[in-house]
Amino acid sequence: MAKSPTNFSAAPSAAGYLYQARLALALCLKYVNVDAGVEVGIERLDDVSFEANGTALELLQAKHHIDRVASLTDKSVDLWKTLRVWSEAVAKDPTLPARTRLALVTTGSAPAGSAASMLRPAATYPAGKARDPKAATALLEAVAESGGNQELKASYEAFLALGATMRISLLSSIEILDNQPLLTDLEASIENDLRMIAPRGQAAVARERLEGWWWSRACKALIANPPEAISVLEIEAKLDDIRDGLKRDALVADQEHADPPAGEIAEYEGRPFVRQLKVVGVGGNRIEYAKRDYYRAFTQRSKWVREHLVFDGEIAKYELTLIEEWQPRFQQMRDKIGDGEVSDAVRRQAGQELYGWVETDARFPFRTVSQRFLTVGSFHILANDMRVGWHPDFETACAAENP
């Protein structure tokens, strides 16, 4: 049962942790095929970190807010908690600002004129404007010296404990990346980066496969003691596997468990492929299974065509294969019945046996895709066009059933 949101809901916190992991994946894609020596860490040196040979290249603090209401003012809790972390780190290692990029990644926004607004990446400012770490330092020093928020007392003290020059040096190394995508919006960001390595139209599938591996890999890295880093080489290797699996000769069948809408099912009731089943006495759940297979095969084939994943005429050749497999079986059925007087019950029974072959035994792969729904559903598509049938006299029998 779904719970109503309360002030004690852990959903925002859970979303924040998931955001860290997904953000780490999204950001490390820029290193793929560029610098194989880089490793990414989650909750290792910071919320997210990038390092090489044990040296931190980038330390990132991630702040996720589901409703985007967070404002990165000079008194922002997010900003000061981040400054405390980095101030204490710089106090221990004064060389950190000179060799490491420090980034606050947040879904909130920095108001105009705020210290945070003066620390965005240089390339994001319009002509005539630029980063201003000195002015940002002055604004934040004034807030820290005036105090006021006891929750942030330790943050103010950590910042002011640095010398004046070191405070400017710290803020000079900080970049504020505000208005960043939400947890769910990162999917599109990752897919956009994967378009360069995934086959046309397969970026979403590539992202699903990459994240399927990534969540498991991130969990393993997190439970190690201490948390371990994940090499960009591992990510490159996984991307190679995914790319090979998505080659044009390896179509992905992702409609195998698609549920047809109720309206679609109702509309199928009068279709020829359903009448073909009824004239041989197939009914009940088997009719519903047939509608489902028809829907899945139709949507799968349509998706492949829409995404340009099949060659011209390839589906027609597949259908010809099915027809030629059906033809001798259909003829055998008719030969067995003969030309004499045969009751309709016998004809219907023969038709049921032929359809039983399609329903349970016929499996003809489309390239490497051999799922049942594709073969059975494609036979129903042909039956809908009256290009194959089950009753020995299916053309006339179905015409008689036509409402």
Tens digits of residue pLDDT in 344-377: 899 999 999 999 999 999 999 998 888 999 999 9
Strand order across the beta sheet in which 38-42 lies? 174-177, 101-106, 55-63, 48-52, 38-42, 230-231
- Domain locations in the chain? 10-246, 262-398
pLDDT value, residue 8: 58
Q: What is the DSSP letter of 109?
A: B
- Structure tokens, 351: 């038709």
Torsion of CA 68, 74, 80, 86, to 10 degrees: 110
CB 259 within 8 A of CB 228: no
Torsion 266-272-274-278 (CA) sign: positive
Rg value, the chain, Cα: 31
What is the pTM (predicted TM-score) of this model? 0.63
Tens digits of residue pLDDT in 74-89: 999 999 999 999 999 9
- Structure tokens, 253: 């069948």
- What number of other Cβ atoms are within 10 A of residue 201's Cβ? 15
- Helix 285-306 / helix 372-384 crossing angle, nearest 10 deg: 100
Query: C-alpha distances in angstroms, 110 versus 74, 129, 181, 187, 203?
Result: 9, 16, 15, 24, 32
Query: C-alpha distances in angstroms, 230 versus 22, 39, 51, 214?
Result: 14, 5, 10, 10
pLDDT value, residue 368: 82
Tens digits of residue pLDDT in 22-61: 999 999 998 888 888 999 999 999 999 999 988 899 999 9
Q: Which residues of the chain have pLDDT under 70?
A: 1-8, 68-70, 247-250, 400-403
CB 378 within 8 A of CB 388: no
Torsion of CA 391, 394, 396, 399, to 10 degrees: 110
- Structure tokens, 122: 């240089």
